[in-house]
């Protein structure tokens, strides 16, 4: 019984923060101690809450930046346009089920293909047979877990 009722919309009240007299509306915000806030103080409180929400997103940005750096180091992402060789290697990796022979590709390109297959853990005995040729002296296989 001792608590005071909040003013109804259309009545006058004093702001709980700045003691300025204002007209109460249905949209008037209440402060943390239970009083009502004027329009100016409500806007300041909204800006503070919005700033607090934007600060919470900072760790997600750091994770995205770390992932981007990791992708750049591993060769997944490139800055700018990709080279024709990179596009061809990616196309071969995506469509490896329809590849029956690699033909007369240079050694550096075969090594790049083998490294890509190994990184994606696709290298198995069927794919190894594509890389074995009589004129090659060596073959780099980085991951042979599926063989």
The first and second tokens of residue 76, run together, are: 């997944």
Q: What is the mean pLDDT of residues 72-100?
A: 77
The pLDDT value recorded for residue 35 is: 86
Q: What is the pTM of this model?
A: 0.42
Residue spans of the domains in the chain: they are 12-56, 79-131
What pLDDT was estimated at residue 52?
A: 80
Report the range of poorest mean pLDDT among 85-89, 103-107, 133-137: 133-137
Q: What does the buried/exposed string (b/e) look like for 122-142 if buried means 16 or more CB atoms within 10 Å of the residue's CB?
A: ebeeebbebbeeeeeeeeeee
């Amino acid at each position: 019984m001792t608590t005071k009722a909040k003013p109804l919309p259309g009545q006058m009240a004093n702001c709980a923060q700045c003691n300025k007299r204002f007209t109460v509306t249905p949209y008037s915000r209440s402060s943390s101690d239970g009083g009502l806030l004027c329009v100016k103080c409500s806007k300041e409180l909204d800006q503070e809450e919005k700033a607090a929400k934007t600060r919470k997103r900072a760790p997600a940005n750091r994770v995205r930046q770390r992932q981007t750096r990791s992708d750049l180091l591993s060769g997944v992402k490139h800055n700018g346009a990709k080279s024709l060789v990179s596009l061809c290697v990616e196309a071969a990796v995506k469509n490896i089920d329809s590849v029956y022979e690699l033909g007369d590709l240079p050694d550096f390109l075969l090594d790049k293909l083998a490294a890509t297959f190994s990184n994606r853990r696709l290298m198995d005995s069927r794919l190894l047979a594509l890389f074995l040729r009589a004129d090659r002296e060596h073959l780099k296989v980085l991951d042979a877990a599926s063989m």
